Chain A
Amino acid sequence: MVPGVIAPPSQWYDLTAQYFERNGWPLGLLAVLTALLKAAVILAFIALNVLFLIWLERKVSAWIQNRLGPMRTGPWGLLQTLADALKLLLKEDVVPSAADRWVFAIAPIVTFTPAVLIFVVLPFSDRWIVQDLNIGILFVAAMTSMVVPSFLMAGWGSNNKWSVFGALRSAAQLVSYEVPLVLAAVAVVLLAGSLSLNDIVEAQRRSGWFILVQPLGFLVYYIAALAEANRAPFDLIEAESELVAGFNTEYSGIRWAIFFLAEYANLLSGSAIAATLFLGGWSGPWLPPVVWFLLKTYFLIFVAMWIRWTVPRIRVDQLMNLGWKVLLPLALVNLGITGIYVLVR
């Protein structure tokens, strides 16, 4: 590397690799360091976004409910979430005496890990992607279903009837809505001809946003994604008026905060994937790709918040009916039509 000359970011990795080779350092070390750096960036991205999202949720709910929301901590209450997070960190770590300690302790981590892993395949822009896996969508589906065992662990480990109740509801709900979710995504995959999320965005740059040709698929996908993220009206897992707090009834302090973090990380990733699959992802004129990506993601997040603060909660049998009797047939019909279209195209 020549001092004083800053290479374009696209060449940084190659230059660093040359530097490693010149010094005789193993390239494996570089790979580990790069992975750690990427992980740090992703974690920071998630943490900052979740802090902002929680603030936004409180503000959006306040606007909808004609009140102000947090106003005291920082300008417009922007630092309120930070203050809350600090409070949660400082709280006593309470574990119920009858709880299954190990399962209870691990559950939040098991929830959080797949929530983070989804971000591995998210294309923030044409070049900003941790790992452009050629099975991107499959990976996302696999990671989202990892949430089920973690909720079951939390519910079972708490040794509380309401927690088990919430956990079992979550298993039923997530498994049911996984099916239409994946089917709706498969239709997009058929159109794009690839499982890679970046290829799907590229395909939309050529042919226009998939929401235009897949309005039904988008609707199914978005509703199922709301259910997957446990957002109202599908927040039965932690329905406070029925189950106290569902699977996380016994959790407090930092453990509870991790659940909360994972929930908002899931909202973020779910909206980002919906934006990628149907709204053209990072593609768009004039603005930098990453800005387009965030704009679309945040638009979908706002819609989710809007829905949450407007509608009542659905009942568990109605939830199952909607999943199996409405969304699944719709998704199948959509997939069939898309398949015929791709065949004759």
Chain B
Amino acid sequence: MASTATVTVGTPEAVVERLGSAFPGVEAEVLPSGWIRVRIDRERLADFARFVRDELGFDYLSNLSAVDRQAEGFEVVLHLVSIGAGHQMAVYTRCPRDDARVPSVTPIWPTANWHEREAWDLMGVRFEGHPDLRRILLKENWVGHPLRKDYIDRRLPRQRQTRESYRPDRVNTTTFDVGDAPAGADGQASGPVRRVLEVPDAYTPRSGVVVNMGPQHPSTHGVLRVLAEIDGERILKCEADIGFLHRCFEKIAEGLPFPSVIPYTDRTDYLAGMTNELAYCLAVEQLFGIEVPERASAIRVLMAELQRIASHLLWFGTFSLDLGAVTPFLYAWREREKLLDIFETISGARMMYHYVRIGGVRNDLPAGVDRQIRAFLDSFDANLDEFHALLTGNPIFQARTRNVAILSKEDAIAYGASGPTLRGSGVAYDLRKAHPYCGYERYDFAVPVGETGDVLDRYNVRMEEMRQSARIARQALEGLPEGDFMGKVPRRWKAPAADAYSRVEGPRGEVGVYVVGDGQNERPWRVHWRAPSFVHLQLLPVLGTGLLVADVVAVIGSIDIVLGEVDR
């Protein structure tokens, strides 16, 4: 693909100007937040996408989601970023309900692959030209698209599988009685016709042996199923199969008042609850225009950085387990335990905090917790050195990670990698620096970057990030401003008819939250979660093909996925 890193256009206004001349009649404007907002008709979307990538330098697709606009059809929203120039652009395109088709942008941004599959799965928008438009979160024989507003759940009560109903000869095809036929376009059931769906298994081996790594496997970090076609120890082809942990977060969020969604966000990436809460609250604050007091922002930064350390500690432990070293895991756990105690002191919970609230945080820092945090930070640098001594210099560790699963700079950007996975490949892109939120511009920290983009680089970046996070946390704690911990929030959450997209640098990468208000309700019309693990998992076939089985384990460990976030 064309190298896009060199193309940069000066200002957002210049971008709008270029767009206006290249695509006459396109609605483009620059919002006060700096975002460029573009409406384009679907016929010109493919050309438009190629133009903005090649000519305007929008090389990074942050997010793609679809919104049900009822009578006006479906709206597909692309959030694009130019990593070089730092521009952000939201692209809206619509398609009518009865012809829900939009050209695919996967050929332009490969990362759109799974985003589009998800949009097809949950919203039923067909992406023309997509290489492999299958369902991704729901099972393949699901009927209907649940995020459509006219969706009616017509599943039969769950039927028990008995010894008699188990058909070993049907392992490769799945036969399901799907009950009544799905509702038509008008929302009416099209009659009590019983249908049987037969879905051929998509994973027929070409050669070699196909092994299922997961969903029950010790090193897939949850319920991930990796289908690997192997020849001896070598992987010929591998594919991630996800959705085992799908719990309809986005659908649930549509039925809850804005503040009540926060506890659910804790459970997406359950290792970084604070970051998720922060990402959601930032989006809602942006939607409602809520001001957050400085003290609350500083506390949020403190929490986010401690959370990053806690999450990276867990990653360090499990990554070493993946490589067969058990001991570092317990050392990492010892430190993480102290952090969880701190979180418990502050929020009352160890994992599901519900601490960051819209407009601020739930409560001020309790008295004495600063001593606890300082004690942790004081010993942390020495502990980090200890971790390095335990694992980093080990020749076996080096041999297992150096030059393994190299992710090039171009691939990292094209596949939407973010966070340490992107920086491990040598792209110094950190949202805390590029688009500061919560006053990150006031803190002094470095952004560690890798060179070759191998497993070792991603490892080193994360290890160094912990040190930098500790620095930020100390600065936040020392410079904690006086004042309120909660801003002024509306009494009634009447959502404006607008949308907001927040991007937060989470431990695993960019957490993006897209919130849409409908102009009348207290509930969000649509919430979409851009989960870094979901995006990163697309890298598995890219990185894993041609490696050994043991390397795939290292790759999964090095991109640091959390299945709760992948499946949502």
Q: Pick out which of these stretches binds chain A: B56-64, B390-398, B521-529.
A: B390-398
Q: Which residues of B369-407 have CB atoms within 8 Å of chain A's CB atoms?
A: 391, 394, 396-397, 399-400
CB pair B396–A242 under 8 Å, yes or no, is: no
| 0/1 interface trace, chain B 324-341, chain A, CB 8 Å (1 if under) | 111100110010000000
- Choose one: B233, B325, B330; the contact of A313 (CB below 8 Å): B325
A318 at the interface (CB under 8 A from B): yes
Chain A residues bordering chain B, tally (CB within 8 A): 28
* B window 477-533: CB within 8 A of A: none
Given A232-B324, A241-B218, A241-B322, CB of A315 within 8 Å of CB of B550: yes
Partner of A241, one of B211, B321, B396, B397: B321
Q: Quick one: given A241-B219, A241-B323, are A162 and B550 in contact (CB under 8 Å)?
A: no
Return B554 CB to nearest CB of chain A, in Å.
9
Question: When the two chains form the complex, which single residue of B211, B321, B396 contacts A311, counting CB atoms closer than 8 Å?
Answer: B396
Question: Which of chain B's residues have a CB closer than 8 A to the CB of A61?
Answer: 326-327
A11 at interface (Cβ–Cβ under 8 A)?
no
C-alpha gap A94/B334 in the complex (Å): 37
What is the minimal beta-carbon distance from A340 to any residue of chain B, in angstroms? Answer: 32
Contact A312 B218 (CB under 8 A): no
A317 within 8 A of B: yes
| A22 neighbours in B (Cβ, 8 Å) | none
Q: By the criterion CB–CB under 8 Å, are B218 and A315 in contact?
A: no
**What does the 1/0 interface line of B8-28 toward A look like (CB < 8 Å)?**
000000000000000000000
Chain B residues touching A, range: 20 to 34
A235 interface hit (Cβ, 8 Å): yes
Q: Is the CB of B324 within 8 A of A65?
A: no
The answer, among B218, B334, B399, for a CB contact under 8 Å with A318, is B399
Residues of A near B195 (CB, < 8 A) are: none
Chain A 232-270, CB-CB to B under 8 Å as 1, else 0, gives 110110011111100000000000000000000000000
**B399 contact set on A, CB distance < 8 A:** 314-315, 318
Task: State the CA gap A317–B334 with chains docked (Å).
Answer: 34
Contact A312 B400 (CB under 8 A): yes
**B252 within 8 Å of A by Cβ?**
no
Among the listed B321, B322, B331, B553, which residue makes an inter-chain contact with A66, where contact means beta carbons less than 8 Å apart?
A: B331
Count A/B pairs, Cβ under 8 Å.
78
A66 and B390 CA atoms in complex are apart in Å by 13
If A66-B331, A240-B218, A244-B218 touch, whether A309 touches B323 (CB-CB below 8 Å) is no
A65 engages B331 (CB within 8 Å): yes
C-alpha spacing A89/B399, complex, angstroms:
41
**Cβ-defined partner of A317 (8 Å) among B209, B324, B548:** B548
* A 60-82 to B, binary, CB cutoff 8 A, 1 in contact else 0: 01001111000000000000000
Mostly helix, strand, loop or mixed at chain B's interface?
Answer: helix
For A317, the chain B residues whose CB sits under 8 A away are: 233, 548
How far apart sit A313 and B396, CA to CA, in the bound complex (Å)? 7
CA distance A310 to B394 in the complex (A): 9
Q: Does B320 have its Cβ within 8 Å of any Cβ on chain A?
A: yes
Partner of B330, one of A66, A161, A165, A239: A66
Is B155 part of the contact surface with A, judged by Cβ < 8 Å?
no
**Counting CB contacts under 8 A, is B269 at the interface?**
no
Quote the shortest CB–CB distance from A164 to chain B (angstroms): 9
Contacts of A232 in B (CB 8 A): 324
Query: Do A312 and B325 touch across chains, with their CB atoms under 8 A apart?
Result: yes
Which of A233, A239, A244, A315 is the most central at the interface, judged by chain B CB atoms within 10 Å of its CB?
Answer: A315
Question: Using Cβ atoms and an 8 Å threshold, which residues of chain B touch A312?
Answer: 320, 323-325, 391, 394, 396-397, 400
**A138 CB–B CB distance under 8 Å:** no
Q: Which of A241, A313, A318 has the most CB of B within 10 A?
A: A241
Q: How far is the CB of A315 from chain B (nearest CB, A)?
A: 5
Contacts of B551 in A (CB 8 A): 315
Query: Which residues from B are CB-within-8-Å of A313?
Result: 323-325, 396, 400, 550
In the complex, B44 has a CB within 8 A of chain A:
no
C-alpha gap A65/B219 in the complex (Å): 21
Question: What's the least CB distance linking A186 to chain B, in Å?
Answer: 28
- Chain B residues with Cβ below 8 Å from A318 are 396, 399-400
Q: Which residues of B contact A342 (CB under 8 A)?
A: none
User: Once bound together, how far apart are the Cα atoms of A236 and B399, in whole Å?
Assistant: 16
Query: Is the CB of A316 closer than 8 A to any CB of chain B?
Result: yes
Complex Cα–Cα for A233 and B324 (A): 8
Give the residues in chain A near B550, CB-CB below 8 Å: 236, 239, 242, 313, 315-316
Measured in the bound complex, the distance between the Cα atoms of B397 and A162 in whole Å is 24
Closest chain B CB from A302 CB (angstroms): 16
B139 within 8 A of A: no
In the bound assembly, the distance between CA atoms of A166 and B482 in angstroms comes to 61
Cβ of A310 and Cβ of B324 under 8 Å apart? no
Chain B nearest CB from A263 CB (Å) reads: 16
Assembly CA distance A90 to B549 (angstroms): 35
Min CB–CB distance A239 → chain B (angstroms) = 6
Q: Which residue of B has the minimal Cβ distance to A232?
A: B324
Residues of chain B with a CB closer than 8 A to A309's CB: 326-327
Is B217 interfacial (CB-CB < 8 Å)?
A: yes
Provide the bound-state CA to CA distance between A310 and B327, in Å.
6
CA distance A336 to B553 in the complex (A): 41
Other contacts beyond A161-B209, A315-B551: 4, CB < 8 A: A232-B324, A241-B323, A312-B323, A312-B396
Residues of A within 8 A of B (CB): 61, 64-67, 161-162, 165, 232-233, 235-236, 239-244, 309-318
The 10 A-B pairs of least Cβ separation, nearest first, read: A313-B324, A312-B325, A241-B219, A65-B330, A312-B323, A312-B324, A241-B322, A315-B550, A161-B211, A312-B396
Provide a sorted-by-A list of 7 A–B residue pairs whose CB atoms are within 8 angstroms.
A64-B327, A165-B211, A239-B324, A312-B324, A313-B396, A318-B399, A318-B400
